[in-house]
Chain A
Amino acid sequence: MCYIEAVATHLNLTHDIKEVVPDATLRRRMSRIVKMATAAAFECTGGVQGIAALDAIVTATGLGCLTDSERFLEQIHRTGGQMLNPTPFIQSTFNTVGAQIALLAKNRCYNMTYVHRSRSFESALTDAMLQLKEGDARRVLAGAFDENTPTQHHIMERMGFWRKAEDGEGAVFTLLTAEATANSMARVSRVEFLSSPLSEQQCRERYATCSDGQVWRSLDKTVYPCRSALRFAEAVEEVRKGVPEIVVYNEYFGKEPTVIVLQCL
């Protein structure tokens, strides 16, 4: 169990990134998804002072920083592994976002990144909840990000992914606390990883604790590995508005089902 104090969702780069990252050297090496995710983390925590006050930063991504990964691989292919530019390599690593967030406030707290395909966000959430439960942290920033690129879109198109769905991207961050505060919006009561898919009825029977709660099956048309983080953010907003409980069930193309249960305070 943990409490949600803030949630920020960025589906495109709208923030003035110069305000978020004043250091031009840091900024000029950041790709679009890194800027988007850093801006979401910045908004979620309320700025540099909020980041400095964090006890843990836990990020999640299904495919990582694809633009820089593609640039790096393309260079290897073109040059045969010779004369590789360092920046795309450095920026393509999965923990780039977590590191950039920490660098903004020079925060040396626990910093972990989970890369477990569509279960990445739930993995990060689980780690964050354990940090809070065991008393190692009192304020944890957890988030997920994934970007799409023309190459990735093309490859997945050839695999037939876009016959029934379209790709998406975005960054979602949430600020979690061990205790409820005056700013708490909802609480996360459960996160589970399932071995086989569940129907809506099965989800309700297994996870719902009140009759007027809702079950959300995240099977809509826009998909990307960390899509469940976006559904989580949308569900927090609904719980804040008064829905007593939402069971967020996520499946990625019929695989790797997970459940997050959110409850009102």
Chain B
Amino acid sequence: METLVRELKEHLIRELNLEDITPEDIDSKAPLFGDEGLGLDSIDALEIILILEKNYGIKLQNSAEAKPVFYSVETLAEYIAKNRR
């Protein structure tokens, strides 16, 4: 899981072009969206959907399940670990 979390952080930094941020700077339990944590927005959510599809073969079928999955890096990693192809 630790390797997956780090890999996911690296994907986020690269795909979202997060300036001056290293994987160590990202708190795995902190919220990805909103004013706390990384402060991502709806466009970033679309980019994350593409990260899941391109790198882990995961297609989110139900938008209702996205909210808890997209809460933090840790929740994303748990979802990927269970659903990756």
**Residue B19 at the chain A interface, CB threshold 8 Å:** yes
Q: Are A25 and B47 in contact (CB under 8 A)?
A: no
Give the nearest-CB partner of A79 in chain B. B54
Q: Which residue in B19, B50, B53, B54 is a CB contact (below 8 Å) of A28?
A: B19
**Chain A residues engaging chain B, CB cutoff 8 angstroms:** 24-25, 27-29, 83, 85-87, 90
Residues of A within 8 A of B16 (CB): 28
16 contacts between A and B (CB under 8 A): A24-B19, A24-B39, A25-B39, A27-B19, A28-B17, A28-B18, A28-B19, A29-B43, A83-B50, A83-B53, A83-B54, A85-B46, A86-B43, A87-B17, A87-B43, A87-B47
Contact residues of A: prevailing secondary structure = helix
Residues of B within 8 A of A27 (CB): 19
Contact string, B2-37, partner A, CB cutoff 8 A, digits 1/0?
Answer: 000000000000011111000000000000000000
How far apart are A103's CB and chain B's nearest CB, in angstroms?
A: 13
* Inter-chain residue pair count (beta carbon < 8 A): 26
**Chain B residues engaging chain A, CB cutoff 8 angstroms:** 15-19, 39-41, 43, 46-47, 50, 53-54
How far apart are B44's CB and chain A's nearest CB, in angstroms?
A: 8
How far apart are B56's CB and chain A's nearest CB, in angstroms?
A: 13
Given contacts A29-B17, A83-B53, A86-B43, 8 further A-B contacts (CB under 8 A): A25-B39, A25-B40, A25-B41, A28-B16, A29-B43, A83-B50, A86-B46, A87-B17
- Complex CA–CA separation, A86 to B43 (angstroms): 7
Q: Which residue in B17, B40, B43 is a CB contact (below 8 Å) of A90?
A: B43
- Complex CA–CA separation, A85 to B11 (angstroms): 14
Give the nearest-CB partner of B20 in chain A. A24
- Complex CA–CA separation, A86 to B16 (angstroms): 11
Residues of B within 8 A of A29 (CB): 17, 43
Residues of A within 8 A of B54 (CB): 83
Q: Are B47 and A85 in contact (CB under 8 A)?
A: yes
Q: What are the 7 closest A-B residue pairs judged by CB atoms, nearest first?
A: A28-B17, A86-B46, A28-B19, A83-B50, A86-B43, A83-B53, A85-B50
How far apart are B18's CB and chain A's nearest CB, in angstroms?
A: 6
Give the nearest-CB partner of B18 in chain A. A28
How far apart are A115's CB and chain B's nearest CB, in angstroms?
A: 24
Give the nearest-CB partner of A28 in chain B. B17
- Complex CA–CA separation, A28 to B19 (angstroms): 7
- Complex CA–CA separation, A5 to B70 (angstroms): 49
- Complex CA–CA separation, A86 to B17 (angstroms): 13
Q: Are B47 and A86 in contact (CB under 8 A)?
A: yes
Residues of A within 8 A of B43 (CB): 29, 86-87, 90
Residues of A within 8 A of B40 (CB): 25
